[in-house]
Amino acid sequence: MGKRAEQTTHHVFKPIDLKRSADFVVDVIAKAIFFGQVLVGEKLPSEQILARQLGTNRSALREALKRMEGDGILETRAGAAGGTFVTGRPPSSYIQMFLPAPAEIHDFVEILISRRALEPQIVELAVNRATASDYARLHEILAPLKELRGKAELSEDEVELLSMAALQFNMALGQTTHIGFLETIMQVLAQQIEPVRREAVLGNPQASIETLFDTLAALEAADLPRIRAILEQRFQYLEEAWEASTGRKLWRDTPQFLQRQIAK
């Protein structure tokens, strides 16, 4: 694993409410890895420290770590330089952990409008503030999708993989701004929109895959007109998927300030 494998993560886990629940321990640690707060290759704190950070008991913690090791996320190594290491991201079967409760129809409308209003500005900030490690993270997220490009049909597992990558990619875009509040906004928008995105993925998986790769290429080239065009395309996919799944039409009277942005 190299030098990073010897580095203990600096992330501090917050206490959870149900102290005896291994399920909640899995949820907290998996989310920290999924959101990039804990990186693949990093070492978790010792059991004693981790149990104290989470406010849980050692028995529940060990059960959770064992479960995650079985799922290929963690690995326990013996010896003086041993410990529990992160060896992989949560598999697609974990995706339900990262989704909110189903939203009402009017909530989705507000979410779609909010994303159209906010995401272009956040992505433009990302162009100016993203670091080499940010781009490496985005490439890492999309790497598993390379094998899916051009496939006529995706299996159920491959659809889950695509949904997971799209969710991670959109939240990572917020992280590239290095502004905590904007990271939170993108995380909330990405999570809330996920049920609609899944409909869009099922309707046209290759278009979903290509827009992700196109977005990353435009970001790296700092091509703002191209970024705006790709985002507009992504918004249309989501809105059309919502309309197809609900049988309702979205109001598309674009605010004047957004018209100016699109026209640039």
Say if residues 102 and 63 touch (Cβ distance below 8 Å).
no
Classify burial at 188, counting beta carbons within 10 Å of its beta carbon; exposed 0-12, middle 13-18, buried 19 or more: middle
Q: How is the chain split into domains, by residue range?
A: 3-90, 100-263
Is this prediction's pTM over 0.85? no
Residue-wise pLDDT tens digits, 9-54: 888 777 655 555 888 899 889 988 887 778 888 999 999 999 999 8
Question: Are 77 and 65 spatial neighbours (Cβ–Cβ below 8 Å)?
Answer: no
| CA-to-CA dists, residue 39 to 42, 44, 264, angstroms | 6, 10, 37
Give the E-state strand segments of the chain in sequence order: 74-77, 83-86
Specify whether domain 3-90 bears CATH 1.10.10.10. yes
Residues 63-101: pLDDT tens digits?
Answer: 999 999 999 999 999 888 889 999 988 886 776 666 655
CATH of region 100-263:
1.20.120.530
Domains 3-90 and 100-263 share a fold: no
Nearest to 45 by CA among 22, 54, 67, 71: 54
Going by pLDDT thresholds of 50, 70 and 90, the confidence category of residue 130 is: very high
| Burial of 131 per CB tally in 10 Å (0-12, 13-18, 19+) | exposed
